[in-house]
Structure 1
Amino acid sequence: MYKLNLDIQAFLANDWQQAPKVFKGAFPDFEDPIAADELAGLACEEEVSSRVVVTKGNDWEVISGPFEDYDRFGETHWQLLVQAVNHWYPESQPLVEAFRFLPDWRFDDLMVSFATPQGGVGPHIDNYDVFIIQGEGQRRWTVGPKGNYQRRGGVTTSPLIEDFEPIIDVVLEKGDVLYIPPGFPHQGETLTLALSYSMGYRAPSQQELAGQIADQLMDEDKGHKRFIAVDGAASHGTVSLAEQQGIMQLIRDLCNDTDNVVKVLGKLLSQNRFDLDIQEDESIDADALVEALNEGAVLMRIGGLKVLKMEGDSQARLFVAGESVIIEGASEEELIEVSNSVNVNAELAQLPHWQGFFVQMLQKGYFYLGED
């Protein structure tokens, strides 16, 4: 169990998405949830997103996994980064739970890095919030102020930037946490062999929202309404302001449709960027589920799965991994409980109107029956 030694309300009021901050000793007696060799083993798997960053003077080489061995990288100047470790390594879930004072829909993934001395990824800017938790070893972090920074090498699509003047310069040790909001440049330098953990939190971009709206309209074969105007053309080659506003009103109309908004956001916000560890079980049925629960099995979500309830939804519905699922007969309280719970209450799961949902989830591999 990981207990975060942090005044959460003060953090949300004064720091969250406002300014970077260091929390020394945020996790007293911190223990690494994964060992370096176990992380290296995950990076051998094809389904797991991993990369090695090799430091070469003032430049960096990025090599994508999977990896069979690491001898070729030597003993210094490189770092292994493995994304979505919480999807593949259940023992990391308790560390994720420590940060659930932030909503599940924002949580992206738990990235874990193993770094050798002088290993790092260079000065860069992220477009998401990140908490960096230091495990074994020491790493020096510098964070700069927001500003207009020159992209390294003039590559506009690269997150790497030229050097910055730090406003934070700190050596993180086991149990320390560094919080960095979007837009603040930062860089890590490894002092000793080190494990560190990055909890990333994202909100959707305008591009992602527009894409999801388009997908939803095509899925339901909607959105065929066109702009209608009664006025003639005041000028042959000019689109009037009234016409521009009238055409864009078609988009606003979509956003004023509550049911459409619920479905668009529910599907988008419950999606994952990285693969889930899905183990389908088409053999399970309602009788097998009830029998297993009566024998003491625990119904659990797979790591990283997002189960969201949309406030104001007119239907008894949850959104799971980008899918809309209606549970006829479910109460508001039950829907909220299931969306909040990683381990499902056995009594609730056996209610007739919930059995079908959980059988479907087990068959899809989104939930599994484990031990307490």
Structure 2
Amino acid sequence: MYTLNFDTADFTREYWQKKPIVIKNAFNDFEDPISADELAGLAMEEDISSRIVQTQAQGWNVVQGPFEDYDEYGEDGWQLLVQAVNHWYPESQPLVEAFRFLPDWRFDDLMVSFATPKGGVGPHIDNYDVFIIQGEGKRRWQVGNIGNHQQRGGDKNSPLVDDFEPIIDVVLTKGDVLYIPPGYPHCGETLTLALSYSIGFRAPSQQELLTEMADSLIDNNLGKQRFTSTEEVANKGFVSEQQQQGMMNLLTQLAQDPNQYQTMLGKLLSQNRFELDLNPFEQPISANDVIEAIEDGASIQRIGGLKVLKLEADKQAQLYINGEVVTVAGIDADIVAIIANEHFIDQDSLLKWSQQPALVKLVAQLINQGWFYFSE
């Protein structure tokens, strides 16, 4: 169990998406949920996104995983980063749970890094919020102020930025947390062998929203209303400001109609950037199979990283899971909320649910999709 030692309501009011903060001893008696060897093992898997960043005299070199061996990298000057560890390593989920005072739709993933002395990834700016939790070892972090920071060496394709004047310069030790909002440059340097954990939170961009909306309109053969005008300007090559605004108002109408945007938004927000450890049954189970399993003592558990979302004021009786729509018509709203909010549903609850055919059918669907699994 991981319990935060700070007031989360005060944090969201004073710091969330506003300014960075160092929280010393944010966790008491912090224990690493994963070892360096276990992390290295995950980075050997084809389906798991990983990389090694080497610190060099002229900058940083990135090697993409998976990896077969680490001996060639030596004893210092490199860092292993593994994305979405919570998807593949269930023991890391309790650490994620500590940060669920923020909504699931924002949550991106848990990235874990193992770094040797002098290892780091260079000064950079993220377009998402991140909490950096220090495990074993020590790392020095510098954070600069938000502003106009140039990409390193003038390279427009580089994720790195030029050196900056720090407003935070701190050594993190076990249990410390550094929060950095989007747009603030930061850089970490490893002082001793270290494990650290980055919990990221993202929100969709205008590009993502427009792309998803366009795809939804095309897939459903919607959005065919055309611009009309009763007053035309005589000047041949002239497009009036009023007409320009009238055309753009067609998009505004879509954005103001829940029937047009809710399903699109639910699918977009429930998607994951990284692979999930889906494990569907080879042969689909039936409703009777579900009832038998529950009566034999089974509970159900959500796989790591899976987003199950319910949109407020959605009149379509839907859940959004992993970018897909799941109908929950006829199921009590309180139970739908439990499915959206809880990662684990115990046998006592399931025994009550087993009296409702629509619920049993839903549980079978969740398991057949590989999104949930039976657990003791």
Task: Determine the structure 2 residue equivalent to 1:368.
Answer: 373
> Do the aligned residues in 2 keep the contact of 1:141 with 1:189 (CA within 8 Å)?
yes
Q: Is 1:133 aligned to 2:133, yes or no?
A: yes
Q: How does 1:177-326 map to 2 (within 5 A)?
A: 177-281=177-281, 282-326=283-327
Aligned-CA RMSD value: 1.1
Q: Distance in 2 between matches of 1:225 and 1:63?
A: 49
Q: Distance in 2 between matches of 1:2 and 1:166?
A: 30
Count of paired positions: 371
* Distance apart, 1:315 and its partner CA: 2.0
Q: Is 1:68 aligned to 2:68, yes or no?
A: yes
Matched residue SS, 2:166: coil
Matched residue SS, 2:363: helix
Matched residue SS, 1:109: strand
Matched residue SS, 1:195: strand
Task: Determine the structure 1 residue equivalent to 2:350.
Answer: 346
Q: Distance in 2 between matches of 1:348 and 1:39?
A: 40
Change over 3 Å in CA distance of 1:348–1:63 after alignment to 2:
farther
Q: Distance in 2 between matches of 1:170 and 1:7?
A: 21
Matched residue SS, 1:5: coil
Question: If the length of structure 1 is used for normalisation, what is the TM-score?
Answer: 0.98
Deviations along 1:70-107, one digit per CA (max 9) or x if unpaired, are 01111100000000000000000000000000000000
Matched residue SS, 2:325: strand
Matched residue SS, 1:167: strand
Q: Distance in 2 between matches of 1:2 and 1:53?
A: 29
Query: Which of 357, 365, 371 is the equivalent residue of 2:362?
Result: 357
Q: How does 1:13-24 map to 2 (within 5 A)?
A: 13-24=13-24
Task: Determine the structure 1 residue equivalent to 2:333.
Answer: 332
* Distance apart, 1:349 and its partner CA: 4.4
Q: Distance in 2 between matches of 1:94 and 1:339?
A: 17
Identity value in percent: 60
Q: How does 1:94-113 map to 2 (within 5 A)?
A: 94-113=94-113
> Do the aligned residues in 1 keep the contact of 2:295 with 2:351 (CA within 8 Å)?
no
**Counterpart code for 1:278:** L
> Do the aligned residues in 2 keep the contact of 1:77 with 1:119 (CA within 8 Å)?
yes
> Do the aligned residues in 2 keep the contact of 1:349 with 1:358 (CA within 8 Å)?
no
Q: Which runs of 5+ in 2 are unaligned?
A: none
> Do the aligned residues in 2 keep the contact of 1:120 with 1:188 (CA within 8 Å)?
yes
Q: Which runs of 5+ in 1 are unaligned?
A: none
Q: Distance in 2 between matches of 1:269 and 1:337?
A: 19
Matched residue SS, 1:111: strand
Task: Determine the structure 1 residue equivalent to 2:92.
Answer: 92
Task: Determine the structure 1 residue equivalent to 2:161.
Answer: 161
* Distance apart, 1:331 and its partner CA: 2.1
* Distance apart, 1:330 and its partner CA: 1.3
Q: Distance in 2 between matches of 1:349 and 1:56?
A: 58
* Distance apart, 1:58 and its partner CA: 4.1
Q: Give the stretch that moved more between structures: 272-281 or 354-363.
A: 354-363
Q: Give the stretch that moved more between structures: 17-26 or 347-356.
A: 347-356
**Counterpart code for 1:280:** P
> Do the aligned residues in 2 keep the contact of 1:302 with 1:367 (CA within 8 Å)?
yes
Deviations along 1:100-129, one digit per CA (max 9) or x if unpaired, are 000000000000000000000000000000
Q: Distance in 2 between matches of 1:29 and 1:103?
A: 26
Q: Distance in 2 between matches of 1:292 and 1:156?
A: 56
Matched residue SS, 2:311: coil
**Counterpart code for 2:350:** A
Task: Determine the structure 2 residue equivalent to 1:6.
Answer: 6
Q: Distance in 2 between matches of 1:340 and 1:157?
A: 39
Q: Distance in 1 between matches of 2:165 and 2:71?
A: 35
Q: Distance in 2 between matches of 1:38 and 1:107?
A: 24
**Counterpart code for 1:336:** A
Q: Distance in 1 between matches of 2:34 and 2:81?
A: 13
* Distance apart, 1:348 and its partner CA: 5.4
Deviations along 1:211-269, one digit per CA (max 9) or x if unpaired, are 11011111211111111122233311111111111111111111121122211110110
> Do the aligned residues in 2 keep the contact of 1:79 with 1:115 (CA within 8 Å)?
yes
**Counterpart code for 1:117:** P
> Do the aligned residues in 2 keep the contact of 1:216 with 1:264 (CA within 8 Å)?
yes
Q: Distance in 2 between matches of 1:79 and 1:146?
A: 26
**Counterpart code for 1:30:** F
Q: Is 1:175 aligned to 2:175, yes or no?
A: yes
Q: Distance in 1 between matches of 2:214 and 2:63?
A: 35
**Counterpart code for 2:295:** N
**Counterpart code for 2:359:** W
Q: Give the stretch that moved more between structures: 335-344 or 127-136.
A: 335-344
Deviations along 1:186-222, one digit per CA (max 9) or x if unpaired, are 0000000000000000000000000110111112111
Task: Determine the structure 1 residue equivalent to 2:37.
Answer: 37
Matched residue SS, 1:368: strand
